[in-house]
Amino acid sequence: MALIQLACRCDNALLVLNQLRQRASTVVVSQQADVPAPMEIDAVTRAPGPLTPEERAHRMRNGLCIVCGQRGHVRNECLKSRGRGQ
């Protein structure tokens, strides 16, 4: 009987935790929807060419792709890398 009660408490705790996670992710999504997307100014103002040491360090420090400066991938997966984006 004690094991059944313990299992019920664990199940209830997991249910509450999942509900809190869903509520937190809903808040983040709704906050992002209200914020306009920033303009990609670098695509217009910066001429293509080798990165300055400062820009390279900035991208590495912030987990950005060395080639395009976007988040979510690395240089060898970049579509703008030589031959892959064309």
Neighbours of 67 (CB within 10 A): 20
- Where are the chain's structural domains? 1-36, 38-86
pLDDT band at 85, cuts 50/70/90? very low
Q: What CA–CA distance (Å, rounded) separates 66 from 20?
A: 37
pLDDT band at 39, cuts 50/70/90? low
pTM above 0.75, yes or no: no
Contact indicator for 73, 65 with CB cutoff of 8 Å: yes
SS3 assignment, position 7: helix
Report pLDDT for 48: 61
What would the mean pLDDT of 63-86 be, rounded to a whole number? 79
Contact indicator for 74, 60 with CB cutoff of 8 Å: no
On the CB side of 10, how many CA atoms lie within 13 Å of its CA? 6
pLDDT tens per residue, range 24-37:
666 555 555 555 66
